[in-house]
Amino acid sequence: MSLVFRLLKRSTGLLGHVAILAFLLITTGASAQIDQEVYDKGEKIFKANCAACHKPDKDMTGPAVKGATQRWEGKGDLHEWIRNSQGYIKSGNPYAKQVFEDHNKIIMPPQAVSNEDIDAILYYADNYAPAGAKPGTTAPAPETAAQPSSNWEWLLITGLLLLVVLLSLGGVRHQLSNAVREKQGLNPEPPLGTWGRIKRWAGRNKGWASVAVLLLVVWGSVLCWNFLFRIGVYGGDKAEHYKPSQPINYDHTLHAGADNLAINCQYCHSGAEKSRHAGIPSANVCMNCHQAVSEGPATGTAEIAKIYEATGWDPTTMTYSGPEKPIVWNKVHNLPDHVYFSHEQHVAVGKIECQECHGPVDTEMDQVQQWTPLTMAWCLDCHNTTEVTVAGSDNGYYKEIHRRLAETPMGQRELRKYLEDEKITVRELGGWECAKCHY
Amino acid sequence: MSSTKRYWQDLSEMDPAGPPAKAEEFNEPMPLDQVLADGSITGSTTSRRDFLKFLGFSVGAATLAACEAPVIKSIPYVNKPEEITPGVANWYASTYYDGEDFASVLVKTREGRPIHITGNHRFGINRDPRSGKGVVNARVNSSVLTLYDSERLPGPMQVTEGNFVQQAWADADKAIGEGLAKVSAAGKRTVILTSTVISPSIKAAIRVFKAKFNLNISDGDPSVNASVGGAVDHVQYDAVSYAGIASANLKSFGKWAFPSYDLTKADVVVGIGADFLSNWGSSTENTWQYAQRRKPELATESLPMSRHWQFEARMSLTGANSDRRVAVRVSQLPLVVMALHDAIAEGVGGSRISNAKLDESSAAAVAQCAKELLAAKGKSVVMCGVNDEGTQVLVNSINTMLSNYGNTVDIRNASPLFQGNDAAMAQLVKDLNDGTVGALLIHGTNPAYTLPNAEKFKTGVKKASLSVSFSSHADETASLCQWITPDHHWLESWGDHNPKAGVFALTQPTIRPLFDTRQWGESLLKWSGTDTDWRSFVQTVCKDTMPGSWDQHLHDGVYQGATEPTVEPLTFSADVADAATRASESAQGAGEWEVELYTSEALGSGLHANNPWLQELPDPITKATWDNYVCISPEDLSALTGKSFKELYIGQESPAQVLKVTVNGTSMELPALLSPGQAPRTIAIALGYGRGANGERVGRAACLRNPDGSPAPVGQNAYPWTTLRGNTVRYEALNATVEPTGGTYAVALTQTQMTGMDRGSIVKETSFTVWALNKPEETYNPPHTLAVHEDVNNDGKINALDRVPATSIDLWAEHPVAEVGHRWGMSIDLNSCIGCGACITACNSENNISVVGKDEVRRSREMHWLRIDRYYTSDTHEDTPGLSWAGKLASMERPSLSPSVLFIPMMCQHCDHAPCETVCPVAATTHSEEGLNMMTYNRCIGTRYCANNCPYKVRRFNWFNYLTEDFSQVNPAWDDLGRMVLNPDVVVRSRGVMEKCSLCVQRIQAGKLEAKKDGRPVRDGDIETACSSACGYGAIIFGDLNDEGSKVRAGRDDPRGYEMLEEVGTHPNVNYLVKVRNTSDDDNHHA
C-alpha cells in the first residue's frame, strides 16, 4: 500500500487523484479474495530468507516454491524438508533425495523458521502474482496532472485584469467628460488613443512618470537577474533541482526507503567510509541481489535487464556469458576540480548522515537530484556551526589536540577564544582554511 | 590655448627625421591603397547595419548556447577489482633495474595507474636502516613517466628499409622462429646482446633458448663468452663499462666481477675519478652507506665520522661532497693510483713499483691521503673510476695491502651487477662484419648510439640475416633491426633480480600493458617452442632462488638469502709491476687539452633521454638543463676567449661561449660552462645526449622536432669519442684541441655561479674539529644579530655594538602555531644531503609540476617547487686583508678555483611571518593554523607580488598553460596518455596563477584523516612529503614540530640548526643543520 501513497503524494493534480482512486478501487476489488495479511507476512519472510536462491514462480538456484505443496503431497514432510533439508535427506526420503539431485546437489542451509512461517511462505508463493499484476504496479502513473500555477503568473493575470479595468474606466471617464463638454457647448475632445493619453499624462506629471519608469526598469532588471540565477544546476527553493536523466531508472526510494528494502546507503556507496569518493556502485554490486531479482515492482524486467546487459549476464542460463558494457551515469553532484572533498572525513570521522547533504534520497527521490547548493558558502556555513567534540573525545586524535590546547599558555589563550561561543566548531579547528579543501 | 612645450624621451626625438625606432616601426608601408582598391570591398553589399545585426545575433546565440550546464558522465567499473577503491591509492613493492641502476621500490597506483615511485622503506639493498627509507635516484622515480610515453611502439614491428609496419604477434613469432631455425640450420651463430642481466629467470630463459638452438650450452663466465664459438652466445655489454674493474679482478682474484662495497665500515673513503654517489657502481647502495657515516652526531670512538678524499678532474657530485678534493687531470688519475700504491706499499713495508711524477701539490695530497689510509687499515676503501685493467689491479693491490677485502670490499660475494664485457662486444662487431653472426637479438642496450665504433656496428647489423630488437622505442639500434618485438615497460613486467650475493628481488606489474607488447623473456621462450607465460616461468625459477611463500616475497619485494661467508678473502695474485707499466702507459699521450666523458646525474648513459622530468632536472653542479656542454675551468675559458669572468656570465640574455672541441679529427661545437674546481686544461662533456639525431623515434623528450619536422636533438652525442683501448672502453680523450668559435649558444641554467659570500645566514659550514671540540654553538652557528638604538650592552654608549639576536625582534604578533594543534615543518641536514636531486623529481611526480622546456627555463620560468641551490666557496673572506670594501665584495662573488661545494635544498619555508602573505591583494596566499603557508590557486589573480616579496624565491608563476600544444614537445601531461601520470589528489594549475611547495598538504590531510579514523594521534613518520620520502639518506625530515618526540622537532632543537635568512625575521617552519666537513687545518690551507 505504501506504493499507492507514494504515487498519491507524487501526483498532486486532481486528475491524478481521480485516476488513482479509480484504479485503487478496481485493483483492491480484484485482489480481495486472498488473505492479504498472510500474503504480506509470507512475502516478507520469503524476501528475507529465501529470495537469494529461490523465486516464487520460477526455478533459480533452488526450485520454484509455487506448487511445492502439491508436489510434496503424500511424498513427505514439506515443513521438515524446508527447515533442514540435509537432515531430511539423511532420514531417507526418496523424493527429497531426488529433488536434491535434480538441482545440482546445491545444499540448502537449515532455516530457523516455524511451521507457521513456512505456511505463510507457501501461501505467498502459491498466490504469487508477478510484478505488474500487483496492485498499483502496472505502470508509472501518468503524470498528466496540471502543475499548480506559480505566484507570479497569478500576479500577471491580476495585473492584466487591473489594466483592463483601468482602460475601461478611462474610456468611461472620456465618455463622461465629453458629455460634460457637450453640455457646456464645447467640442468633444478628439480621441487620443491609449498611448496618446499615457503620453499626455506623463507630460503633465513628469515626477510620477519618472518614478514609474524607474520602477519599471528596476522590475525588469530584477526579473532578468532572477532569470539568470535560475540558470545552473541548483535552483534553490524556487526552481527545479538538477535532476539529470539516467541510463537506468534506478529508484532510491525503492531500494533505500525505510518502507521498502531499506538497504544501507553504504552497501552500494561503499567508498563513503574509506575514500574521498562515495562512488557509484559497480554493476557487480547490483548483481549481488539482481542475480536473483530479475523483475522490479515498477518497471518489470526492463530496467534490470540493463544491468544484465552491462554485466553480460544471461538470466536464462544464469551465466556471465556476454560482453561487459559499462553503464554511463550522469553525475548529479559535481564539485569543481579545484575542490578536494572527502566523503571519508565527513562520514567516517564527522559521522554526518548522507541525507544532510544529499537530501531525502531514501524517502523522496525516485530519481536523484541535487538537494543542496554545494557552493563554498554552503560548505563554510556548515563548518562554521558544526561542533567538534574535542574535550572529552574518545578519539585519540582529538585527545591529543585537546592536550596541546589545554597544556600550553598559547593553547589556553586559543582555547578561550574558541570557547567564546561555548563550543569548538570545525572552523576553529581550521575548517575555514583554504588548504583544507584547495590543493 | 595649446602649450608649445615639447617633451622628449631621448635626444633622437629632437631629430626632425624622428626617432629611428619610430621610422622603423613599419618596415614596409602598409598596403592600404591596395586593399582599398579591391573592387570586391567597395562593391560589397554587406552594410554596416547588417554587420551589427550579425554581431548581435552571434553574441546572443553564443550567450544562449552557454546557458546549458555541462553534463558530467561517471562510469563505474562493471566488475570492480576487490583491491581497488576509487580514490584510494594502492602500493606495490616492486623492483627497478635497467642495466645501470638497481632499486627496490614501492609503486603507488591510483585506480590501476602507477603514478609515483619511492624507495622500499622496509626491504632491499638500497634501504637505509638508519633513516628507515629506501634510496632511489632521480632516474628511478622518474621512470614512471616513460610508461606513458606516446612514442612507445604499439606492438611488434617489421622494419623494411626504414618502414615500420605493425604485425600481429603470431606473424612475428612465425617469421622470427623460421629465421632462427634457418640460422641454426646454416650453422651460423645466434647472439643475444644485452646489458648486464641479473635476472635468474632471464638467464634460465636464455638457457632454454640455447638448448633449442644450440648444442653447446655454456652459460658461464662472461669473461670467456667472447671466445665461445657455439651456436648461441650471450654477450653482455654495458653502455658505461666497468670491464676494467672486472678484468682486473679476474687477474687479481680469478673472478670476473665487480666488487661489493660496504661504506658503512669505511672510516676513510678515497675516490679516484669514481663518482660513486651519483653514477658509479651500485650508487643507490653507496649513497646511504656513505651518508650514514657523515652525520657528526652519530660519530663515536669506534665509528668516527668518515673522511672522504676525492681525486678527480671534473667537479662531480661526489667531489662536491668530499672533505678534501684534489683536482687532477684525467691523464694523471692512473698516476695518482700509482703514487698512492707506492706510498701505501712503503707504509706496509713493501717496495715502490713506479716513480709516478705528480705535481707538487697533488703529490703532497697523495702522501697525506696514504697516511690516513694506513691509519685506518681494514676500515678504509679506495675506489677508482678509470676503466683500465692495469690501474684497477693497482687499486686492488692497495685495498689488499690495506686489508680492506673482507671488510669494506667484498669480492668473494661480489656484485652481480656490471658484467659488461667490452672485448666481447668489440669481437661481436667484428664478427657481425665478417658475416659469421646469423641472428642478433638485442635487449636493453643501444650500441648503435653508445659504441665508439657505432658505424661499424650499424653496417654489421645489416649483414645478419635476422636481427631483432626488444626495445620499446624505435631507437638508434632498433630501427636498424628487421624486427622490433617490444618488451613491456618495467612497471608492466614480471621479473626477478639478484642484485647482490644472496639478495633476490621481484618486479611485479602495476598496470595492464598499455600497448601490444610482450616481455622479452616470454618471447625467447616462445621462439624456443616453450609456451609458458612469463609469470609462471618466473614463479617456477623463483621456487629455487626464493624459497618460502611467493605471496610474501611479492609483498616484500625482496628476499634475503644466504651469502658465502666472507671470513677468508680471496688471495690477491696479480703481477703488480706489469699492472703499473700498463697503468702508466694508459696515462701517456696526454696533449694540451684532455677531455673527460662523464655521465650526468640526470640522464646517466642516455637510456632515459626521453624523460622530460630528467631533461629538466638541473645538473647538481652546473645547474644546466636540456643540454650537454663543455665543463671548463673559469681561468682556462677566460684565457681561451680573452674575456673577463664578468663577460663570461651566463644568464637569460647572456648566452654561453661556444667552443670547438676536436678529438681524433672529429669536431663538436658545444657551449662552455664555467666549472670552478675543474682541473686545468681538462674539459668534461656529458654522455647520453644527442639521441635520435638521425630522426629515430627515441621518445618524446629525447629528441625534439623543429617546426619543419626535422629532428632537433637535445645536446650532442659524445660517445664517438670514447675509445677502445686494450680490452676496455675508455671515457677520456687525452689529446684534444679546444678553440673558441666566437659564436654563442643559449644555455638554460637554473642558477648561475653563486657563492656564499660569507653570508652566514644562508650557508653555514664548519669542520668536525670545530664542531666536536668547541661545543658552544656560537662558534660554528652564531645567531644573526641586529644593531638596535638602545644601550643593550650597557657600555654607556648607543652604537653599532648594541646588538640583539635577530629572532628577538618582531614586527608582527606571534602566530599561534607553537604548541597549538599541528605545526608542520621540516628539518634539512646539510650533512646528509648529497645533492642528488631525487627529491626534485619526486616532487614533480607528486605535485603535477609542469615541464616547461629549455627556452622557458632559460627565462627562469622553471616550475620546480623544490630546487637544490649549489654554493661555491670563494677565496676571499670577510676578513681578507688588503682589499677595499667594494673590491672585497666583487671578489667574494667569484668562486674559488678549488672551491668546496654546498647543496641546499630550497623550497617554500612556510614562514610564520610570511612576506608573501602580506602583499597579496586578494588573500590568495594565507597562513594556516598548522603552520602552512597556503596557496589558493583559484583565488590568485597573478599579480606576482608574492614572488617579488619572497626572500627565498621559491614561488613559481604559470606564465602559460603548459598543457597546451605549444608545450607538447616537452610537457608529458599534454596528451591523453601522458596525463595518466598526474596525481588526482593535486589540482593541475592553469595559466596566470602562482604556485609553490605546499609541504604536500594532500599527504598531510590524508595522514591526519587516517589518524582520526584510527582514533589516535598522528604518529611521527606516518606523514612523509614526496621529497622526504624520496630522500633515502634522511636529509629531509618532515613532521609535526609540536610533537615533542618527533624527529623533526629534534632537528629543530639541534644545536646545528639555523633558519635561512634569519635576519629577515620570517620565522620559517623549515630549518637547516650546519654542514660539518671532516676537514683539518691542513685541508683548509690547501683549499
* Mean pLDDT, rounded, for B230-258: 88
Cα–Cα distance for residue pair A380/A32, rounded to 1 Å: 56
User: Which of A331, A397, A405 comes nearest B1017 by C-beta?
Assistant: A397
Does B2 reside within a domain? no
Instruction: Note whether B67 contacts A: Cβ–Cβ < 8 A.
Output: yes
* Same structural domain, B701 and B785: no
- Comparing alpha-carbon positions, the chain B residue that sits nearest to A337 is B987
* Same structural domain, B228 and B314: no
User: Which of A274, A400, A439 comes nearest B1001 by C-beta?
Assistant: A439
For position A343, what pLDDT does the model report? 94
For residue A403, give Cα distances in angstroms to B816, B1009, B1010, B1020: 15, 19, 19, 17
Judge contact between B915 and B1072, C-beta under 8 A: no
Question: Residue B842: what residue type?
Answer: A
* Same structural domain, B228 and B265: no
Q: Which residues of B touch A418 (CB under 8 A)?
A: none
The domain boundary residue, chosen from B725, B749, B773: B749
Residue B986: is its pLDDT beyond 70? yes
Cα–Cα distance for residue pair A109/B1050, rounded to 1 Å: 62
A336-373 tens-digit pLDDT: 888 999 999 999 999 999 999 998 998 888 889 888 88
Q: Which residues pair with B672 in a beta bridge?
A: B630
Cα angle: A13, vertex A14, A19; to 5 degrees: 100
- Any idea how long chain B is? 1087
Set of cell numbers at residue B954: 621559491
Does B49 reside within a domain? no
Judge contact between B675 and B314, C-beta under 8 A: yes
Residue B131: is its pLDDT beyond 90? no
Judge contact between B767 and B1078, C-beta under 8 A: yes
* Same structural domain, B501 and B636: no
B44-78 tens-digit pLDDT: 666 788 888 888 888 888 777 665 567 889 999 99
Instruction: Note whether B1042 contacts A: Cβ–Cβ < 8 A.
Output: yes
B975: Cβ contacts below 8 Å, ≥ 6 apart:
B150, B968
- Comparing alpha-carbon positions, the chain B residue that sits nearest to A309 is B78
pLDDT category at B1083 given cuts 50, 70, 90 is low
User: Which of B87, B932, B987 comes nearest A338 by C-beta?
Assistant: B987
Beta strand pairing call for B127-128 and B133-134: antiparallel
Instruction: Note whether A380 contacts B: Cβ–Cβ < 8 A.
Output: no
Residue A15: is its pLDDT beyond 50? no
Cα–Cα distance for residue pair B26/B17, rounded to 1 Å: 15
Cα–Cα distance for residue pair B20/B1039, rounded to 1 Å: 61
B837: Cβ contacts below 8 Å, ≥ 6 apart:
B138, B601, B602, B617, B618, B620, B868
Residue B16: is its pLDDT beyond 70? no
Comparing CA positions, the residue from B84, B572, B323 lying closest to residue A284 is B84
For position B449, what pLDDT does the model report? 92
Instruction: Note whether B548 contacts A: Cβ–Cβ < 8 A.
Output: no
Residue B825: is its pLDDT beyond 90? yes
Residue B385: is its pLDDT beyond 60? yes
B804: Cβ contacts below 8 Å, ≥ 6 apart:
B785, B786, B788, B792
- The C-alpha cell 609462471 sits at B536
For position B1035, what pLDDT does the model report? 92
* Mean pLDDT, rounded, for B662-671: 92
Does B237 reside within a domain? yes
- Chain B residues 709-768 with CB within 8 Å of chain A: none
pLDDT category at B682 given cuts 50, 70, 90 is very high
* Mean pLDDT, rounded, for B877-889: 78
DSSP class per residue in A24-71: HHHHHHHGGGS-HHHHHHHHHHIIIIITTT--SSS-SSS--STTHHHH
The answer to whether the CB atoms of B85 and A270 lie below 8 A apart is yes
Q: Judging by beta carbons within 10 Å of its beta carbon (0-12, 13-18, 19+), is residue A179 exposed, middle or buried?
A: exposed
- Comparing alpha-carbon positions, the chain A residue that sits nearest to B67 is A231
B302: domain CATH number?
3.40.228.10
- Chain B residues 143-182 with CB within 8 Å of chain A: none
B140-168 tens-digit pLDDT: 999 999 999 888 999 999 998 878 999 99
Average pLDDT, chain B: 87
Cα angle: B1028, vertex B1030, B1035; to 5 degrees: 50
List the single best residue of B67, B815, B820, B849 to mutate versus A (max A Cβ within 10 A).
B820
Instruction: Note whether A90 contacts B: Cβ–Cβ < 8 A.
Output: no
- Comparing alpha-carbon positions, the chain A residue that sits nearest to B85 is A271
B107: containing domain: 89-147
The domain boundary residue, chosen from B147, B178, B193: B147
Cα–Cα distance for residue pair B829/B845, rounded to 1 Å: 23
pLDDT category at B9 given cuts 50, 70, 90 is low
Where does B883-1004 show beta strands of DSSP type E?
901-906, 925-927, 933-935, 956-957, 994-995
Cα–Cα distance for residue pair B166/B883, rounded to 1 Å: 72
For residue B267, give Cα distances in angstroms to B297, B380, B518, B741: 15, 5, 47, 47
The answer to whether the CB atoms of B932 and A401 lie below 8 A apart is no
Instruction: Note whether B65 contacts A: Cβ–Cβ < 8 A.
Output: no
In degrees and rounded to multiples of 5, residue B174 shows phi and psi of -65, -50
Give how many domains chain B has, as a whole number.
Answer: 5
In degrees and rounded to multiples of 5, residue B1000 shows phi and psi of 50, 55
| Inter-axis angle of helices B200-213 and B169-185, nearest 10 | 60
* Same structural domain, B782 and B927: yes
Residue A141: is its pLDDT beyond 70? no
Q: Which residues pair with B127 in a beta bridge?
A: B134
* Same structural domain, B920 and B852: yes
Say whether B600 sits in a helix, a strand or coil: strand
For position B1070, what pLDDT does the model report? 94
The answer to whether the CB atoms of B73 and A401 lie below 8 A apart is no
Report pTM.
0.81
* Same structural domain, B965 and B819: yes
- Chain B residues 939-968 with CB within 8 Å of chain A: 939
Does B247 reside within a domain? no
In degrees and rounded to multiples of 5, residue B730 shows phi and psi of -105, 140
B1016: Cβ contacts below 8 Å, ≥ 6 apart:
A396, A397
Minimal C-alpha gap between B845 and chain A (Å): 15
ipTM of the complex: 0.83
Would you give the distance in Å from CA B736 to the centre of its chain? 28
The answer to whether the CB atoms of B1012 and A327 lie below 8 A apart is no
For position A25, what pLDDT does the model report? 41
For residue B658, give Cα distances in angstroms to A157, B483, B664, B673, B743: 86, 41, 19, 9, 5
B684: domain CATH number?
2.40.40.20
Comparing CA positions, the residue from B752, B766, B836 lying closest to residue B1036 is B836
User: Which of B80, B88, B821 comes nearest A404 by C-beta?
Assistant: B821
The answer to whether the CB atoms of A325 and B937 lie below 8 A apart is no
For position B880, what pLDDT does the model report? 77
The domain boundary residue, chosen from B724, B749, B774: B749
Percentage of chain B beyond pLDDT 90 is 50
User: Which of B820, B987, B1008 comes nearest A410 by C-beta?
Assistant: B820
B911-957 tens-digit pLDDT: 999 999 999 999 999 999 899 999 999 999 999 999 999 999 999 99
For residue A266, give Cα distances in angstroms to A270, A335, B1049: 5, 21, 41
* Same structural domain, B403 and B514: no
A159-163, A257-261, B770-774: range with highest mean pLDDT: A159-163
Q: Which residues pair with B901 in a beta bridge?
A: B872
- Any idea how long chain A is? 439
pLDDT category at A32 given cuts 50, 70, 90 is very low
Cα–Cα distance for residue pair B120/B135, rounded to 1 Å: 8
Cα angle: A300, vertex A306, A312; to 5 degrees: 125
Instruction: Note whether B800 contacts A: Cβ–Cβ < 8 A.
Output: no
Please, what's the b/e burial string for A283-306 (b: 16 or more CB within 10 A of its CB; e: otherwise)?
A: bbbbbeebbbebbbebbbeebbbb
* Same structural domain, B807 and B720: no
Q: Which residues pair with B749 in a beta bridge?
A: B624
B970: Cβ contacts below 8 Å, ≥ 6 apart:
B612, B615, B616, B701, B704, B851, B852, B853, B854
Does B373 reside within a domain? yes
Beta strand pairing call for B933-935 and B765-767: unpaired
The answer to whether the CB atoms of B1015 and A438 lie below 8 A apart is no
Please, what's the b/e burial string for B642-663 (b: 16 or more CB within 10 A of its CB; e: otherwise)?
A: eeebeebebeeeeebbbbbbbb
* Same structural domain, B444 and B387: no
* Same structural domain, B867 and B988: yes
Does B11 reside within a domain? no
Cα–Cα distance for residue pair B524/B131, rounded to 1 Å: 41
For position A26, what pLDDT does the model report? 43
- The C-alpha cell 642478433 sits at B440
Residue B652: is its pLDDT beyond 90? no
pLDDT category at B1063 given cuts 50, 70, 90 is confident
Instruction: Note whether B987 contacts A: Cβ–Cβ < 8 A.
Output: yes
Does B57 reside within a domain? no
* Same structural domain, B197 and B263: no
Q: Judging by beta carbons within 10 Å of its beta carbon (0-12, 13-18, 19+), is residue B25 exposed, middle or buried?
A: exposed
- Comparing alpha-carbon positions, the chain B residue that sits nearest to A340 is B985
For residue B632, give Cα distances in angstroms to B318, B656, B873, B975: 18, 12, 18, 39
Residue A149: is its pLDDT beyond 70? no
Does B54 reside within a domain? no
pLDDT category at A12 given cuts 50, 70, 90 is very low
List the single range of A231-245, A396-410, B635-649 with lowest mean pLDDT.
A231-245
Domains of chain A, earliest start first: 35-126 (1.10.760.10), 151-229 (no CATH), 252-364 (no CATH), 376-436 (no CATH)
For position B134, what pLDDT does the model report? 92
B527-554 tens-digit pLDDT: 988 888 999 999 999 988 888 899 999 9
